[in-house]
Structure 1
Amino acid sequence: MPEIIIAINKLSIKNNQKNSIGRKIMNRKLNQTEEINITRRYGIKALGYAAVAVASTGIIPNLDKYVLSEANAASSAKFKLRFGTIIAPKADRYLASGMYHLAKAIQEKSDGEVSVQLLDKNQVCAETACAKKVASGVLDIGSASSTNLSLVAAFSNAIDWPMLWAGRDEIFNFLFSPESEKHYRSIMRKAYGMEMLHYYGDMRSIFMGLKYSDKGDIKTPGELKGAKIRISGSEMFQNFTQSLGMNPIPLAWVETLEGMKSGVVDAMETFPSAAAGYGMTKVSAQAVDVNFSPGVCPAFLASKSFDKMPGRLQEVVYESAWEAQKLAYEEGIKSSNAIVGNGEAPTADSEYQKVPMRDIRLTDGERAAFADLGGVEKNMNLYSSIRSQLDKIGGYDVYGVMKEQADGLKGKSIDMQKWWT
């Protein structure tokens, strides 16, 4: 009997060691020397590829082979796509955006017939500018949050209604479903000439600035009254924060960190991986997980570029986008625990656990209080203008249909369907 107990204890220790090693591998990132050496020898795009590989496997891939395949693809490609994004390898450890995978998958699955020049790290555009450049034909592919994209393509806002979606699984289930093609993607294609590819992200929280360090945990809308909050340019977010008694101040994402540092704003709204990936957790005292709207960001391809491809290559693009969205969903869960720290089982060395910022997790009842005060149906007068605008573009009752989708998907397990089939 003692021998059995000893054997069980040894097995338990061994399993714990394996789990610990797995977490360390997930947390592995390129050090500064590695980043400099890779950039000098192989270039920025290879750095992004290496950073993503290291974050998921802990191993630097064969970059000679990668660069050679990139060069061969670019020289022999029949279709050449320029892809502008704000994503950078360092931030992508937190974001799990799938953007690097998308570019790589399109090239590999097309056997080099399609090349993708990935212009990351804000080289050619920030979020709204990326959308404008895709719309004007300067770029073929861009990325932006759904809210920032809505400043160029208003219907992008159709999924952003405050207090509508219960959580991350619900919005991703919709984005994977053929219903997203019927009610959302097809409208974006028809109205703006944009092929919506894959999405990454989470639900949006409210991050309170450092002046709230010595204040109690914020768990009610009343405790936010009067606070100046940074919002993206979304009319929906302006309506929502005003209905909570806050003072919304539109700020570009690239200006938000300084705005929080300087006190121009008292708070900001974004999703956890973006806050961690871009250093916002260091200027925040509390992260209040209101989860009031999807913080999701698509990659989008100009329909003019997409339509030039034969059907088999269009299928390659769709399959690559599906893979990227699957990866973004799955890696996002891992990142939320091992890197960001807002997940169900955060590790001790994740960002949320290392910074002084408090992670305020609301109960269903506490979140319901925000819905009672700030939900769309409680403030129909505030939303009448944008409802009319989106209904006219979509040709149907957009809020009504999205509410049906959100209600129908509530509590359901993820179902990674291929939306275009």
Structure 2
Amino acid sequence: MPLELTILMPCLNEARTLATCIAQAQRFLTASGTNGEVVVADNGSTDGSQAIAAAAGARVVHVAERGYGAALRAGIEAARGHFVIMGDSDLSYDFAHLDHFVSALRAGQQLVMGNRFAGGIAPGAMPPLHRYLGNPVLSFVGRLFFRSPVRDFHCGLRGFERAAILGLALQSPGMEFASEMVVKATLNGLRITEVPTTLAPDGRGRPPHLRSWRDGWRHLRFLLLFCPRWLFLYPGLMLFAIGIIGFAALLHGPINLPVVGLDIHSLLYMAAATILGAQMIQFAALAKWMEALSGMSPMPKGLIFLRPYLKMEYGLVAGLVLVLVGLIWSVNLLLAWRDSGFGAMDPAHTMRVAIPAVTLMILGVQAAITALFAAALHYFWLGRNQQKNHERV
């Protein structure tokens, strides 16, 4: 008969707690009448965990690639159940009480996250750094960046529809796998819910595999790199707006404020802000374009609407126009210098013309390069997909 549920446990030297976790999972399957299996994805244990798992009645999947995410990916691929519930094999989660997860999955949810803050955290189960800083901050960032409904991003106990998660093509080999699953599930429109779960102290009697600062940074790095809006677009828009407003204010002369005077030196900084802002906006567009082409996230609605207008030729023309305007402005400055007999000119007046002209030329070259690079990415992915199709044939 087809299996309904696989209870998956990643394992790396869990000899002290593994048999108890497997027994809890088997007790749940029997008591609930669920047709399922227990799978242990072993990540190279050296303490005999593999033999313990086999003797306890679990199916052992040997995973050569090291890492929490690598073990889980291999375990999910090897699972035979329509649904998978994964959890750490260190006695921090109770596999005998999975009713809420199974009920939500049967009701049509595709990702069911445990929420430890709603269910209860036993004394000593979570370090204060994780409980009051790490988890709340990273979960807030995830909700802010991706509009995810999940309030406990890093709960290790979660259930999902196997086919839906395999369709996300998860890649992270380390602890950030937990964030990648939630982020990609949100971006791809999977049905997500949370159920309360409890967290008990680690029963292994040794330091956990998790490294607070290293793994926390890896989670944050993933969230930033996967959300170019917050990494590039919003800071870029702010810098660009400051630069343009500063240009408009200083282009025709200095501004004397009660405490400070702004002149061509400030104009130079406005030019830098404009150029950097434009670069960051272009990086955001390229990053989103790469994500959409590679299938890592769905094509944003804005890109779908603008795609007919995002042609390389349009970008080259826009860049050329900006460069020509800057050149014409520079030629006018050169003619003014000629009319003065190529002698000394007023530096304030000269720079007030030269800075905007140079800025326009730089922006034009940037626009042309971005258009060429985006087109190169497109052709690269087209060629890659054609090669894959040829290999399949």
TM-score range, shorter chain: under 0.3
TM-score for both structures, normalised by structure 2: 0.22
Q: Which of the two has higher C-alpha Rg?
A: 2
Give the structure, 1 or 2, with the largest relative contact order (CA under 8 Å, sep 6 or more).
1
TM-score for both structures, normalised by structure 1: 0.21
